[in-house]
A = this chain, B = another copy of it.
Amino acid sequence: MRRGADGGLETAFLSLSVAAGQISHYTHGGYNGRVPGYTKDKQKIETRLRRIEGQVRGIQKMVEEDRYCIDVLTQVNATRAALESVALQLLADHTEHCVTEAIRSGGGKAKVRELNDAVERLVRS
């Protein structure tokens, strides 16, 4: 879903999504029709996620083939590390864009609280 400088398309899209019902709003923190914070890194993130999907399938194959526990574990850890990198990328982009813009436009209190909760979940998960 591209969102360019093209305001008309933007409006059309928003109307459409309001009509469609299902893409109706972001949760906690509010949705305002803006692109998400990770937009500029979208392709990079998608590539990483496809690679992670491949890693998970690779682990399934290892288990199916009764591969050695420690070798499977090594692959699971590598996949966890890759997911952690995606999480950090998403959070950094979110802070740099969504949170920064919310603060700049005079608010940001709820956004900051939401960010802090997200950091806590990330650290504790």
Which A residues are closer than 8 A to B by beta carbons? 1-3, 23, 26-31, 35-39, 42, 45-46, 49-50, 52-53, 56-57, 59-60, 63-74, 76-81, 83-84, 86-88, 90-96, 98, 100, 103-104, 108, 112-116, 118-125
With the chains together, A28 CA to B27 CA distance in Å? 30
Q: Given that A95-B112, A119-B119 are contacting pairs, would A31 and B68 also be in contact in the complex, using a CB cutoff of 8 Å?
A: yes
* B contact residues around A26 at 8 Å (CB): 67-71
Q: Does A63 contact B84, Cβ atoms closer than 8 Å?
A: no
A66 in complex: contacting residue of B3, B88, B92, CB < 8 Å = B3
Residue from the list B77, B86, B87, B96 in contact with A122, Cβ < 8 A = B77
